[in-house]
Structure 1
Amino acid sequence: MTRIKKKGTSGAAKNYITRTRAVKKLQISLPDFRRLCIFKGIYPREPRNKKKVSKGSTAATTFYYTKDIQYLLHEPLLNKFREHKAVAKKIGRALGRGEIGDAARLEKTHIPKIKLDHIIKERYPTFIDALRDLDDALSMLCLFANLPSTPHVPPKTIALCQRLCHEFEHYVIVSHSLRKSFLSIKGIYYQATIQGQDIMWLVPYRFVQRTGGDIDFRIMGTFVEFYTTLLGFVNFRLYTSIGLVYPPKFNAKSDEDGGELGAFQLEGKVVPREDKPTTNDDAPQAITSAEAQAEADKVAALAISEQEKEDETSTALVKADSEENTEAIDTFETTAQDADILPQPQASSSEIASLFAPFTIYLSRETPRAPLEFILKAFGCKRVGWDGILGDGAFTTNESDPAITHQIVDRPALPSESLPQVPDVAETETRGAAPPKAQWPRSTMPGRTYVQPQWVWDCINQAKLLRPDLYAPGAELPPHLNPWVKPKKGQYDPNVPLEEQELEGEAEAFEDDEEEIEGKVSDVEEVQPTKDGALAGVEAIIDRDSSVEAGEGMDVAGSESESSNSDSVSDQEAGGDEWEGFDSEPESEISDTEAARRQHQRELEAEATGSAVQLAATTTKSKNAEIRKKAEKKRKQEQEEKERLKMMLPRRKRKLLERIEYGANKRDKEAEVLRKKRRRIENAKRAAEAV
């Protein structure tokens, strides 16, 4: 006879364990259990059937895998936590007896130091695994690097996060790994491609952060402790992979002066000489980093001179044969209107890495220096200058330096009346003083390009230099779009002109709708207010336009004839495309000659009355109506053809096609609303410019 199976000894009840039982089994406190789970990457699990797991109870309980808790039993950090708890008890007893010196000695010498090296190796067996998990680590460390020091966030933690983030940025600059960036309301998104892995992180804006009391900094501090160890390992591996010494030299004085990236000095590893053979008696000769850098500079200078010669010869050939000019990158265009968008060839990584290399860029005081410096240097710019008050490490602090080719400004162009008076040059020369330097916004330096900061982001996202006049100071900037969202077919694209996105007859319908709205507004404005302050005739306009929603006024008593009449009217309105009365001819039966004759008759009547404006309005309105009718007729025919083809499909495929069409129609309506909004804005701009 088989033994009866006891309840709760197998299945889901054995695979899961509650948090209370897990803490008792490990014999540690709940904060230490949370900390250990964060370090080991163990998270709560949700069972499929909570009643089976909790033996019939439905109370809210946190569950973990039993195997995960058994895995934690052999963790070496458990002994560290218990030693820390024992030392904490001794420190508490010493403070209770008033022995402050003994308490300080115990805290300094007996507190165990926790190392997470073995956990990093366990969780990330390969370096690619660590790179894949670097998104959250960089975002968290960049957040803590911008926080103010509080009792919950000590200054040492903030300084460590800043140092690790700057080291990672230096690697991105040297390796030219940065690909895209986006300015969002949350902060600045960056994406870098390192060893084939796309890493995206978020850097908050440098505003004053106000931390609330509902934030558990102990949990966040535990994540920061783990992420700092992880990023330290990753930085070491990245630096050694490109032949740099880690950690780089850190200049504390420059960092105090606001150097940030400039406070770090990168050094190359010692390279053995190959021209002299080494023996056992002689130590191997080595080249210091300065000598290696000098030799590399010589080679780079030779390469640059050869490149300049090639450029001169190429320009001469281009001038000699200007008819054969072709673009560097070809573009593929679709032949049909409904064809798929062809993938366009992109510039090589070397071209993108040297996007800003030939420029000397100066950052004005109002621009965000840190992200601009990082992006410009990551894309090849070696000469970035700014005002001395922004910090140390600038290529030049003189705004009037003639070597500056581009200046990034972020303030509107002020009228000359609002600027302070400048003494004349003759007066300053008579007094013996130096003439004033021409600076923006009073006057621009000759040969210098002034752009807004968005120009830098749009250039790197599109991997090419854009027109700087579109980003001039005070100019209306083009839309800054998310570079990771690609426009799909049928969706609204702000970069494409409106005429290329509109459907046939949509612009004419919009103009007619705007004219009707203007006519209604003018009618309402002409109505005089009554004694009670109400506008007479507004209700008639509302009723005439049928703007009352369906369902309103249904409780009002009325006769059956009225209801039947209203039903017949609604039926006629619904079937207006098919029935227009006995006296009117269908639109499809009216020939082109008859329509032209009627149009000519209307023009003659308008001319006889002597209203030229009415004639022009009538002509435009009739043309718009004709175009709209043709477009509606064409769309109706296409819809009927689709319906006929749909009826030939099986029921299952037809339902699937209807669901697809529902989503497509929803997207089309959203795109139409955006196009109407853009059309209205463009018309308002044209009217303002005309005035």
Structure 2
Amino acid sequence: MARIKKKGTSGAAKNYITRTRAVKKLQISLPDFRRLCIFKGIYPREPRKKKKVTKGSTAATTFYYTKDIQYLLHEPLLAKFREHKAVSKKIARALGRGEAGDAARLEKNLVPKIKLDHIIKERYPTFVDALRDLDDALSMLFLFANLPSSEHVPAKTISLCQKLCHEFEHYVIVSHSLRKSFLSIKGIYYQATIQGQDILWLVPYRFVQRTGGDIDFRIMGTFIEFYTTLLGFVNYRLYTTIGLVYPPKFNAKMDEQGAELSAFQVEGKSVGTDNASTGNEEAPAVANPEAQAIADKLAALPETEEEETALAPVQPVDEDEANEEIDKFEVTAPGADELPQPQASNAEVASLFAPFTFYLSRETPRAPLEFLLKAFGCKRIGWDGAFGEGAFTTNESDPSITHQIVDRPSLSNGAETSEDADTAPKVQWPRSTMPGRTYVQPQWVWDCINQSKLLRPDLYAPGAELPPHLSPWVKPKKGEYDPNLSLQEQEAEGEAAAFEEEEDEEEERADLKVNGDGNNVDALLDRESSVEAGEGMDVDGSEDDEDDSDESDEGPAADEFDGFDSDAESDISEGEAARLQHQRELEAEATGKTLEPEVETTKSKNAAIRKKAEKKRKQEEEERARQKMMLSNKKRKLLKRIEYGANKRDTEAETLRRKRRKLEKAKSAANAI
């Protein structure tokens, strides 16, 4: 006879283990268990059938995979945690006896140092795996690099995060890996393509950070400890891949004076020559750029051609062919598929700002602008001396400056009119504009980078209304509102006419409200004559009601009702209008007078356009309803859900277009005044 299985010894009950049992099994404290799980990448799991795991209990419990906990039993960090616990007891005993010197000696000599090198190798077998997991690491490190030092966040941790972040930024600058950037409410998003992997991270704005008491900095510190080790390994591999010395030389004195990126000096590995690059200059030709070049080329190719090209040798590119203009695929027929347009080469984008010399005004954010301009080829960036060291020039009147980035209202060189010439004082340099220099707002840099070309600087002049700053990762779909297109290109047929009619009706209502105190007698008379049933004090069954009911049964009264608009009535009205026109022509011919053409008003044109659009839309709805009848019930429900989403999207797009139309109308009215 087969042995009967005991309940809770197999299946889901055996595959999961509670956190309490896991801590007892590992024989460590709960904080050490959390720290170990963060290092190893082990997270809580939710069973599919929780009652089978908890044996019918409904209490809130955290579960882990039993195999994950079994895997932690052989972790070398467990011995380090136990040693640290033993030393902590000795230090506490020494402090209790008042032996501060012994406690300091124990802390200096016996506290074990935890290294995470082997964990990095376990979690990321290949370098590509580490690059794929670099998004959260960079976002967390840049966040801590901008935090103020406090009891929970020591200054040593902040300086380490700043050092690693600046090293990574220098690699992005030298390798020209940066692709896109976006200004958002949370901060500044950056995207770099490194060895075929897209890395996206967030850098917060440099505001005064007030950290609350509801933040567990102990957990975040554990992540920082792991991420600093990871980014250190990644930076070393990236620098050595393109032939740079790691770590780069660090000038502590310049860093104390606010140099930031310029405090690091990047050098290439070469024998007998001094190939150095400071923060103001680009690194020279590196010793081994093939890996990055091949990876960038493979990343730019379609997925179907990657395998074939990876095996073939890289052919040299002809300079004449590389300098030719990029072809553009244009749509030949309406409604045809739009092909993806080819983008500019990496070399052209990398040298976008190379021929210019920039000067950053004091009100502009220096750190992101310096990083972006250097990443796209600019070698000469100046700023005010109050910003810190490392500037190409601190003289705002330097004639070599071609572009100045300002973020303040426009300032004229003098009085605008002759009447104010005597009273208004002239604005003197350096607050006035320099001839031959281009003044732009900071958004110009971001938009040029996202569109991979230099945009018109007059659209970003100081004090000008800036164009919309859109996310480069969100592409508008068909039917959605696109701020880059005009209203005529994206609005539906008859939408503009309906909007103008609504505007006219709103103006009429506003006039009635203004003149509602007795000045507009016709409006009041119309209101009194249009009393509906139920508004007055008529008694049910009176003689007036009977007369009205008798008249409503007759034909002429029924014809006067114009509540429903049908196709037949529209055809009759058009035929009646043609007949009246023909009669007027005959009368004019008989009397010998010339018939003056009727002037079609804008209101009548809009009404005709709207009526035509409604008729077309009604026909399309009827045709769609007939097609739905041929579908099964399951497909009809699926189509209903699809139509709900499409209608919601169309409603949102129409609302945005209405808002834009109102703004444009108000702007045109203000300009006319």
Query: What range is the shorter-chain TM-score in?
Result: 0.7 to 0.9
Q: What secondary structure, in the 3-state scheme, does the structure 2 residue paired with 1:200 have?
A: strand
Give the TM-score of the pair, scaled to structure 2: 0.82
1:448-459 equivalences under 5 Å are 448-459=437-448
User: How many Å separate the matches in 2 of 1:128 and 1:252?
Assistant: 33
Conserved in 1, the CA contact under 8 Å of 2:382 and 2:393?
A: yes
1:347-406 Cα shifts (integer Å, max 9, x gaps): 111111111111111111100000000001101111111111111111111111111111
2:492 aligns with one of 503, 516, 522:
503
- Which amino acid in the other structure matches residue 623 of structure 1? K
Residue 595 of structure 2 corresponds to residue 577 of structure 1:
no
1:32-111 equivalences under 5 Å are 32-111=32-111
1:658-669 equivalences under 5 Å are 658-669=640-651
Q: What secondary structure, in the 3-state scheme, does the structure 2 residue paired with 1:376 have?
A: helix
User: Could you say which residue in structure 1 is the equivalent of 2:472?
Assistant: 483
* Distance verdict in 2 for CA 1:649–1:589, change over 3 Å: farther
Residue 514 of structure 2 corresponds to residue 525 of structure 1:
yes
User: How many Å separate the matches in 2 of 1:145 and 1:122?
Assistant: 27
Conserved in 1, the CA contact under 8 Å of 2:276 and 2:284?
A: no
The offset of 1:574, in angstroms, is 11
2:401 aligns with one of 397, 401, 404:
404
Residue 174 of structure 2 corresponds to residue 174 of structure 1:
yes
User: How many Å separate the matches in 1 of 2:658 and 2:626?
Assistant: 32
* Distance verdict in 2 for CA 1:676–1:295, change over 3 Å: closer
The offset of 1:683, in angstroms, is 0.1
* Distance verdict in 2 for CA 1:154–1:116, change over 3 Å: same
Q: What secondary structure, in the 3-state scheme, does the structure 2 residue paired with 1:179 have?
A: strand
Conserved in 2, the CA contact under 8 Å of 1:367 and 1:408?
A: yes
Q: What secondary structure, in the 3-state scheme, does the structure 2 residue paired with 1:265 have?
A: strand
User: Could you say which residue in structure 1 is the equivalent of 2:556?
Assistant: none
Residue 623 of structure 2 corresponds to residue 641 of structure 1:
yes
Residue 661 of structure 2 corresponds to residue 679 of structure 1:
yes
The offset of 1:332, in angstroms, is 2.4
Residue 436 of structure 2 corresponds to residue 439 of structure 1:
no
- Which amino acid in the other structure matches residue 444 of structure 2? W
User: How many Å separate the matches in 2 of 1:76 and 1:295?
Assistant: 42
1:340 aligns with one of 330, 337, 341:
337
- Which amino acid in the other structure matches residue 79 of structure 2? N
The offset of 1:52, in angstroms, is 1.2
User: Could you say which residue in structure 2 is the equivalent of 1:242?
Assistant: 242
User: How many Å separate the matches in 1 of 2:654 and 2:603?
Assistant: 22
1:103-502 equivalences under 5 Å are 103-271=103-271, 286-289=272-275, 328-414=325-411, 438-440=429-431, 442=432, 444-502=433-491
Conserved in 1, the CA contact under 8 Å of 2:174 and 2:282?
A: no
User: Could you say which residue in structure 2 is the equivalent of 1:30?
Assistant: 30
1:408-447 Cα shifts (integer Å, max 9, x gaps): 000012577999xxxx9xxxxxxxxxxx97324x3x1111
- Which amino acid in the other structure matches residue 372 of structure 1? L
Structure 2 unaligned segments of length 5 or more: list them.
286-319, 422-426, 554-559, 585-597
Q: What secondary structure, in the 3-state scheme, does the structure 2 residue paired with 1:339 have?
A: coil
- Which amino acid in the other structure matches residue 189 of structure 1? Y
1:621 aligns with one of 585, 597, 603:
603
User: How many Å separate the matches in 2 of 1:599 and 1:489?
Assistant: 46
- Which amino acid in the other structure matches residue 333 of structure 2? A
The offset of 1:499, in angstroms, is 1.1
User: Could you say which residue in structure 2 is the equivalent of 1:10?
Assistant: 10
Conserved in 1, the CA contact under 8 Å of 2:438 and 2:457?
A: yes
* Distance verdict in 2 for CA 1:215–1:659, change over 3 Å: same
User: How many Å separate the matches in 1 of 2:325 and 2:493?
Assistant: 35
User: How many Å separate the matches in 1 of 2:436 and 2:170?
Assistant: 31
Conserved in 2, the CA contact under 8 Å of 1:189 and 1:203?
A: yes
User: How many Å separate the matches in 1 of 2:477 and 2:465?
Assistant: 26
The offset of 1:270, in angstroms, is 3.0
Conserved in 1, the CA contact under 8 Å of 2:254 and 2:263?
A: yes
- Which amino acid in the other structure matches residue 240 of structure 1? T
User: Could you say which residue in structure 1 is the equivalent of 2:569?
Assistant: 586
Q: What secondary structure, in the 3-state scheme, does the structure 1 residue paired with 2:267 have?
A: coil
User: How many Å separate the matches in 1 of 2:610 and 2:152?
Assistant: 66
User: How many Å separate the matches in 2 of 1:470 and 1:173?
Assistant: 28
User: How many Å separate the matches in 2 of 1:187 and 1:340?
Assistant: 36
User: How many Å separate the matches in 2 of 1:672 and 1:75?
Assistant: 59
User: How many Å separate the matches in 2 of 1:177 and 1:19?
Assistant: 43
User: How many Å separate the matches in 2 of 1:254 and 1:351?
Assistant: 33
The offset of 1:667, in angstroms, is 1.1
User: How many Å separate the matches in 2 of 1:63 and 1:646?
Assistant: 48
- Which amino acid in the other structure matches residue 201 of structure 2? W
Q: Give the RMSD, CA atoms, in angstroms.
A: 3.5
User: How many Å separate the matches in 2 of 1:574 and 1:53?
Assistant: 70
The offset of 1:523, in angstroms, is 1.1
User: How many Å separate the matches in 2 of 1:16 and 1:412?
Assistant: 63
Structure 1 unaligned segments of length 5 or more: list them.
272-285, 298-313, 315-325, 425-435, 531-536, 547-552, 580-584, 602-614
* Distance verdict in 2 for CA 1:667–1:597, change over 3 Å: farther
Q: What secondary structure, in the 3-state scheme, does the structure 2 residue paired with 1:75 have?
A: coil
User: How many Å separate the matches in 2 of 1:112 and 1:189?
Assistant: 39
The offset of 1:669, in angstroms, is 1.2
User: How many Å separate the matches in 1 of 2:196 and 2:575?
Assistant: 64
- Which amino acid in the other structure matches residue 578 of structure 1? S
1:565-618 Cα shifts (integer Å, max 9, x gaps): 9xx9xxx99971339xxxxx71133447926957999xxxxxxxxxxxxx98x7
User: How many Å separate the matches in 1 of 2:530 and 2:435?
Assistant: 63
Conserved in 2, the CA contact under 8 Å of 1:400 and 1:437?
A: no
User: How many Å separate the matches in 1 of 2:451 and 2:642?
Assistant: 32
User: How many Å separate the matches in 2 of 1:204 and 1:545?
Assistant: 63
Q: What secondary structure, in the 3-state scheme, does the structure 2 residue paired with 1:482 have?
A: coil
1:105-129 Cα shifts (integer Å, max 9, x gaps): 1111111100000000000000000
User: How many Å separate the matches in 2 of 1:525 and 1:232?
Assistant: 72
- Which amino acid in the other structure matches residue 464 of structure 1? K
* Distance verdict in 2 for CA 1:296–1:368, change over 3 Å: closer
1:119-148 Cα shifts (integer Å, max 9, x gaps): 000000000000000000000000000000
- Which amino acid in the other structure matches residue 517 of structure 1? E
Q: What secondary structure, in the 3-state scheme, does the structure 2 residue paired with 1:586 have?
A: helix
* Distance verdict in 2 for CA 1:600–1:290, change over 3 Å: farther
Q: Alignment length, in residue pairs?
A: 594
- Which amino acid in the other structure matches residue 509 of structure 1? A
- Which amino acid in the other structure matches residue 184 of structure 1? S
* Distance verdict in 2 for CA 1:559–1:410, change over 3 Å: farther
The offset of 1:4, in angstroms, is 1.8
User: How many Å separate the matches in 2 of 1:437 and 1:521?
Assistant: 50
User: Could you say which residue in structure 2 is the equivalent of 1:605?
Assistant: none
* Distance verdict in 2 for CA 1:125–1:560, change over 3 Å: farther
User: How many Å separate the matches in 2 of 1:226 and 1:573?
Assistant: 78
Deviates more, 1:451-460 or 1:504-513: 504-513
Conserved in 1, the CA contact under 8 Å of 2:352 and 2:453?
A: yes
The offset of 1:75, in angstroms, is 0.5
- Which amino acid in the other structure matches residue 642 of structure 2? I
Q: What secondary structure, in the 3-state scheme, does the structure 2 residue paired with 1:135 have?
A: helix
User: How many Å separate the matches in 2 of 1:516 and 1:599?
Assistant: 33
